[in-house]
Amino acid sequence: MLKKFFLVVCGSFVGVFFALLFFTITAVVMSFIIFGSLSSSMNGQPEIQKNSIMYINLKGTLDERDAAMGSSFMSFMPNKEVSQSLSTLIKGLKIAKNDTRIKGLYLDCRGMTSGMSSLYELREAIKDFKKSKKFVYAYGDEGIMQSDYYLASLADSIFINPEGSVDVHGLGSLTPYMKRLLDKVGIEMQVVRVGTFKSAVEPYMLDQMSEANREQQNHYLGSLWSVISSDMAKSRNIDSTKFAALTDSLMITMSSKELLDNKLVDNTCYRTEMEDKLRKLTDVEKDEDLKLVTAEELVAGNDNPFSSTGNTVAVLYATGEIYSGTNENGNKIPGMGNASGIYSETFAKQIRELQLNDDVKALVLRVNSPGGSAFGSEEIWKALEDFKASGKPLAVSMSDYAASGGYYISSGGQRIFAEPLTITGSIGIFGMIPNASNLVNNTLGVTIEEVHTNENAIVGTPYKPLNDSQIAALQRMVNRGYETFTGRCAQGRGISQDSIKVIGEGRVWDAVTAKKIGLVDELGGLGDAIKWVANKAKLKEGDYQVVDYPNEELSFFEMFNSMQYAKIENDMRKRMGMFYNYYEQLQEILGRDKVLCLMEPIEIDF
Interstrand relation of 83-85 and 595-598 (parallel, antiparallel or unpaired): unpaired
Length of the chain: 606
- Per DSSP bridges, beta strands 423-425 and 508-510 are antiparallel
Q: Is 59 helix (H, G, I), strand (E, B) or coil?
A: strand
d(CA 325, CA 584): 21
Say if residue 550 is preceded by a cis peptide, omega within 30 of 0. Answer: yes
Tell me the pairing of strands 429-435 and 595-598: antiparallel
- Rg of the chain over Cα atoms, rounded to whole angstroms, equals 27
296, 92 contact by CB (below 8 A): yes
- Angstrom distance (rounded) from CA 61 to CA 113: 5
CA 107/CA 545 separation, integer angstroms = 30
pLDDT of the residue at 79: 42
108: which strand partners? 57, 139
Contact indicator for 88, 66 with CB cutoff of 8 Å: yes
Contacts of 501 (CB under 8 A, 6+ apart): 486
Question: Given a cut of 50, is residue 178 above it in pLDDT?
Answer: yes
**pLDDT for 569:** 59
More confident residue, 122 or 201: 122
Q: What is the DSSP code (8-state) at residue 553? A: B
- What angle is formed at CA 112 by the lines to CA 331 and CA 105, rounded to 5 degrees? 115
Q: Side chain identity at 357, as an amino acid letter?
A: N
Angle among Cα 593, 397, 375 to the nearest 5 degrees reads: 20
pLDDT digits (tens, 9 = 90+) for 82-141: 689 999 999 999 999 999 999 999 999 999 999 999 999 999 999 999 999 999 999 999
> What pLDDT, on a 0 to 100 scale, did the predictor assign at position 278?
97
The C-alpha atoms of residue 408 and residue 339 are separated, in whole angstroms, by 21
Instruction: Give every CB contact of residue 457 below 8 A, 6+ residues apart in sequence.
Output: none
Confidence of residue 551 (pLDDT cuts 50, 70, 90): confident
Please give the C-alpha separations between residue 495 and each of 277, 393, 406, in angstroms, as whole numbers.
57, 20, 19
**pLDDT tens digit sequence for 480-521:** 999 999 999 999 999 999 999 999 999 999 999 999 999 999
Domains defined for the chain, CATH in brackets: 52-169+250-300 (3.90.226.10), 312-446+489-605 (3.90.226.10)
Q: What is the pLDDT of residue 19?
A: 43
CA neighbor of 121 nearest in space, from 421, 433, 480, 513? 421
Which helix (H) or strand (E) segment is 61 a member of? strand 52-63
Can you tell me the distance from the alpha carbon of 485 to that of 409, in angstroms, rounded to the nearest whole number? 10
Task: Give the chain's mean pLDDT.
Answer: 86
Q: How far from chain centre, in Å, is Cα 337?
A: 14
Single out the residue of 293, 284, 287, 288 nearest to residue 102, CA to CA. 293
Q: Where are the beta strands (DSSP E) in 39-117?
A: 52-63, 83-85, 102-113
Q: Which of 320, 375, 373, 325 is nearest to 349 (CA)?
A: 325
